[in-house]
A and B are shown apart, each in its own frame.
Chain A
Amino acid sequence: MDKRIIFHIDCNSAFLSWEAVHRLQHGHSLDLRTVPSAVGGSVKQRRGIILARSIPAKKLGIRTGQTVFEALSKCPELILVPPDYALYVQCSNALITLLKEYSPLVERYSVDECFMDLSGYGIDGDESVDLAMRIKQRVKEELGFTVNIGISINKLLAKMASEFEKPDKVHTLFPEEMPEKMWPLPVCEMFMVGVRTCLKLYKYGIITIGQLAKTDKELLKVYFKSYGNVLWEYANGIDYSEVRPDRRDIKGIGNSTTTSFDVTDYETAKLFLLSLSEMVGMRLRMENVKAQVICVHLRNSLFHSWSHQHKIPIPTNATNDIYQEACRLFLEMWNGQPLRALGVRTDCLSDGNFTQLSITDQNKFDKISELDKSVDYIRTRYGNDAVKRGVFLHSGVAHINGGVHDDYPMMSSLL
C-alpha cells in the first residue's frame, strides 16, 4: 500500500472566531479577533473559565483554561462573550460538509477539529501541501474562519503538525521530519501527555519528546505499565489508528454548572436541574438523538463529587422526562449538604426519529414533544431568552444552564 496521507484540521481559537464571524454576519462592525476578547463564563457568578481567546488577548497573557476572574484582573478591557453551543455545532457541521468534498473519510474528533484520510488518491507530500493550502483558503473565504492543517502519514503526527505555528498555517510532519520538528519539543506538548505524566517524566529526566523517543521502551513499561508503550510509540511517531468517518460523534450529552451561591434546599436545586435539563434536552433534540441513561452529578462545597445514574426503559429527549428523572436521582443521592455544582448528563444515545408510543397516556407524550419542538423553534429563531418557564422568573437562576459542552473530547484546545 502507498503511504497514507492524513490531514488534521484544527480551527484556530474556534469558539472565538466562530463568534466573531457570527457577529460580523449579523451587522456588528467590530471583529472580535482584532481586539483582546475571549469566550468564557461570567465573573459575577464566580464560575467559568476562558474557553478561547483572540490573538491580541493571547499577547496580553490570557490563557485558555484560566478563570474568567484571573483573566479580567490581568486585562480589564477584555471583551467577554458567552459560549453559544448551537453556533459551534453549526460551524463544525459546515466545515465537515466542505471537507467531505475532498474525501469521504472525515472524522469529527471534537467540535473544532477533525481528521481526513486522503490516502489512495495518488497525492504525494508536495501535492498534499498544495491541496491543504487550497482547503484552508476555501474555509477562510467560504466559512469566514481560519484553520491550521497538519499533514502526515498518521493521525498522531498530523495532529502534532497542526499544533505548530498558528493561525492559518499548513504544516507537515512526516517521519523524516521528526528529529527536526518534533523531538526538540518539550514532552508536555505531546499528544496524550498530561500534567501528571509530564511531571513523572521530568522526574526521570525526560524533558523533550526526543529524549522520550530514545528512552528504552522496556524501561518506560516499568514506570508506566502498558501506557509506557503508548508513550514510546507516540514519541517515535508510531500510530496505526484509522480515520473513522462513522464514528458516533457524541456518546452522551451533558451539562453542568457551578452555582453562584451554595445550594442548600431542594426547591433551588430543582431549578438548577430544570435549567440544565433544558439545555441537555435542547441539545439532544438538535442532534436528533434520544438518550436512555440519565445521570446527575453533584459537587459539595468541599469539592467532593458524586453521581447517580439510571437507565430508563424507552429513550427520550423530552426536557420534562430528563428533568423528572434528574429530580428523582437527586433525591436519591442528596444528603442535604450545600452544593456548589450540579450536572445532568445523558448517555446511551439512539436514533431520535423513532418514538415508542405508550399504550396508556399517549396524548400527553405527543403534546410534550410538540411543546418541546415549538419552544426549540422559537429559541433558535429569536434567541434562547425569547421563551422561558415561569418558575425561573425572579428566581436568580438562569433558565438555561450549562452553555458549554463537556462531552466532546476537547484535546489541546481546552484543558
Chain B
Amino acid sequence: MITEGDGMKFKCECTVLQKAIQVVQRAAAVKTTLSVLECVKIEAKEDCVILEANNLEMAIEYRLPAEIEETGLVLVNVRIFSEIIRKLSMGTVSIRSKNNTVEISCQNSLFNIKGLLSDAFPEIPKVEESECFEIEQDKLGKLIKSTIFSVSQETTRTILTGLYMEVKNGYVTTVGIDSYRMAVRKEVVDEKYKEFSAVVPGKTMTELSRILENADEKVKIYIGRKQVQFLFKNFKLVSRLLEGEFLDYRGIIPREFGTTIKLNKTNFQDSIERTLIVIPSEDKKYPIDISTEDSTLNIAISTHLGDVHETLPVDVIGENIDIAFNPVFFADCLRVMEDEEILFKCNTEVGPCILSPVEGDDYIYLIGAVRK
C-alpha cells in the first residue's frame, strides 16, 4: 500500500540498485562549491524509483523497479551513498527517509546518513526540436573509444574539447581534433536519418563510453539545439552541446602523399610501444624517427635514458622517408585499430602523416610531424 508522507520508503534488489548508482554516479560533480551537485536525487514514484545526478554539464536519470511503500524524495551525497550500496551484501535493500536522514538497511547492516534539502536540485533540461537516430551500443562505444583520445584537453579552444558527431548518408562519424592530431571513425546506421551534426563535450563522451555495454542493444540519440540526449532502456543521459563551428575536418586531410607504406599493424604497434620504454616520465616530448630504406621501416628513439632501434619489413610505394613523430600519438591510434594490415601515408617533407585501413575509409588518423 502506498502512503503519502514527508518521507519515502521503498525496497529493491541490491544488485539492481548497485548497477543503477554506478551509472548515475557518473553525472555527479566531483569538486564543486555547490554541494547539491555532488548529490544523487532518490525519488520514489508510484511505480518505480528514479535516481538522478546532474553536474550542469550532463545529467543522468535512471529508473529502477522497486517495491514502493511511501512516495517522496531525498538528496544524498552520491559518493557516500554509492560506497554504501556497493559494499552491501546481496539481497533486498530497504531505504527510507525521514526529515533529513536516510536510513539504508540490508540484512545485518543499518546505515543512517544525512540527506539534503531537495528543492535546489537542478531539473534535467528537455531536449526539444530534436533530430534522432538509433545505434547499437557496441558501435557507439567503438566510435567514442576510437576518437576520444584525440579530443583537445586545451580549454582555450573550447570547441575542440568536444567530440564531433555527424550523421550523413547512412553513416555516423565521430571526429576528435587537438591541433596536432585528428581521429576520424565511422559506423553504419540506417540511411533514413536526416543529415545533421553536433559537438558533444569530451567529458560526456568519456563517461558515456564507460556506461555503454558491449551489446547490440540500441541507444536512441536525440540532438536538439543545445542539448543531446542518449536514451537507454531504463535510463537517459542528457548533456549540453558545445556551441560554435567545428573545424572542417575533411579539409585538413592532405589529398596526396609521396609515400605509402603497407605494414603489419601488430608488429608496428609492438615496436612503437617498445620505444616508449626509454621515454623519461618527466619529459614526454621525445620524438621517434621513422625512416624507410627499400623494404625496411626503421624506428629509432634516443633519450638520456638510452636508445631503441626497431626494424620492420614493409612494402614501400614511393620515395623513402625520414620523419620524426611523437610516438604516443601513434600508440594511441594503434591501440584502437582492428585491422591486421594498415596503410601509413606521408610526404617526404615535414607534414602530417595518416594511418588508414588498406581498403575503405572506416577510420583515418592524422598525426602532425615533429621538426628537429
Interface residues of A (CB under 8 A from B): 246, 290, 312-315, 325, 328, 350-351, 353-360, 362
- Give complex CA distance A33, B56 in Å: 66
Stretch at the interface among B235-243, B280-288, B337-345: B280-288
- Chain A residue nearest to B350 (CB atoms) is A357
**Which of A246, A314, A315, A355 contacts B371 (CB under 8 A)?**
A355
B179 / chain A contacts, CB cutoff of 8 Å: 313-314, 358-360
Q: Chain A's nearest CB lies how many Å from the CB of B155?
A: 8
Q: Can you show 20 pairs from A to B with CB atoms below 8 A apart?
A: A313-B153, A313-B154, A313-B178, A314-B179, A314-B285, A328-B156, A350-B285, A354-B285, A354-B286, A354-B287, A354-B370, A354-B372, A355-B371, A355-B372, A356-B370, A357-B368, A357-B369, A359-B181, A360-B247, A360-B252
Check A358 against B370 for contact (C-beta < 8 Å): no
- Give complex CA distance A322, B182 in Å: 25
In the complex, besides A315-B285, A357-B370, 6 extra interface pairs with C-beta distance below 8 angstroms are A246-B304, A313-B179, A354-B324, A354-B372, A358-B180, A359-B179
Tally of A-B residue pairs with Cβ under 8 A? 62
Check B180 against A359 for contact (C-beta < 8 Å): yes
**Which of B304, B367, B371 contacts A354 (CB under 8 A)?**
B371
* A357 with B372, Cβ < 8 A, contacts A313-B153, A314-B180 known: no
Q: Chain B's nearest CB lies how many Å from the CB of A394?
A: 31
B351 / chain A contacts, CB cutoff of 8 Å: 357, 362
B369 / chain A contacts, CB cutoff of 8 Å: 357
Q: B291 at the A/B interface (Cβ < 8 Å)?
A: no
- Give complex CA distance A115, B242 in Å: 55
A325 / chain B contacts, CB cutoff of 8 Å: 156
Check A356 against B326 for contact (C-beta < 8 Å): yes
Q: B159 at the A/B interface (Cβ < 8 Å)?
A: no
Interface residues of B (CB under 8 A from A): 152-154, 156, 177-182, 247, 252, 283, 285-287, 304, 324, 326, 350-352, 366-372
* A355 with B370, Cβ < 8 A, contacts A315-B285, A360-B252 known: yes
- Give complex CA distance A246, B303 in Å: 14
Check B372 against A353 for contact (C-beta < 8 Å): yes
- Give complex CA distance A315, B154 in Å: 13
A359 / chain B contacts, CB cutoff of 8 Å: 177, 179-182, 252, 352, 366-368
Check B285 against A351 for contact (C-beta < 8 Å): yes
- Give complex CA distance A351, B326 in Å: 13
- Chain B residue nearest to A325 (CB atoms) is B156
- Give complex CA distance A360, B157 in Å: 14
B247 / chain A contacts, CB cutoff of 8 Å: 360
A358 / chain B contacts, CB cutoff of 8 Å: 179-180, 368
- Give complex CA distance A196, B363 in Å: 63
**Which of A246, A328, A356 contacts B285 (CB under 8 A)?**
A356
* A357 with B180, Cβ < 8 A, contacts A313-B153, A328-B156 known: yes
- Give complex CA distance A362, B368 in Å: 9
- Give complex CA distance A308, B111 in Å: 42
* A312 with B285, Cβ < 8 A, contacts A353-B372, A359-B182 known: no
Q: Chain B's nearest CB lies how many Å from the CB of A357?
A: 4
Check B283 against A350 for contact (C-beta < 8 Å): yes
B180 / chain A contacts, CB cutoff of 8 Å: 313-314, 356-359
- Give complex CA distance A360, B156 in Å: 16
A313 / chain B contacts, CB cutoff of 8 Å: 152-154, 178-180
Check A351 against B153 for contact (C-beta < 8 Å): no
Check A356 against B368 for contact (C-beta < 8 Å): yes
- Chain B residue nearest to A292 (CB atoms) is B285
Closest 5 CB pairs of A and B: A355-B371, A357-B368, A359-B368, A350-B285, A359-B352
* A357 with B283, Cβ < 8 A, contacts A313-B153, A313-B178, A328-B156 known: no
- Chain B residue nearest to A349 (CB atoms) is B283
Q: Chain A's nearest CB lies how many Å from the CB of B229?
A: 31
- Give complex CA distance A359, B182 in Å: 8
- Give complex CA distance A351, B352 in Å: 21
Check A351 against B366 for contact (C-beta < 8 Å): no
Q: Chain B's nearest CB lies how many Å from the CB of A390?
A: 25
- Give complex CA distance A185, B371 in Å: 56
B370 / chain A contacts, CB cutoff of 8 Å: 354-357
Most buried by B among A246, A314, A325: A314
A354 / chain B contacts, CB cutoff of 8 Å: 285-287, 324, 370-372
- Give complex CA distance A362, B351 in Å: 9
Most buried by A among B182, B287, B371: B371
- Chain A residue nearest to B352 (CB atoms) is A359
B286 / chain A contacts, CB cutoff of 8 Å: 351, 354
B154 / chain A contacts, CB cutoff of 8 Å: 312-313
- Give complex CA distance A355, B180 in Å: 11
B177 / chain A contacts, CB cutoff of 8 Å: 359
A360 / chain B contacts, CB cutoff of 8 Å: 179, 247, 252
Q: Chain A's nearest CB lies how many Å from the CB of B44?
A: 43
B153 / chain A contacts, CB cutoff of 8 Å: 313
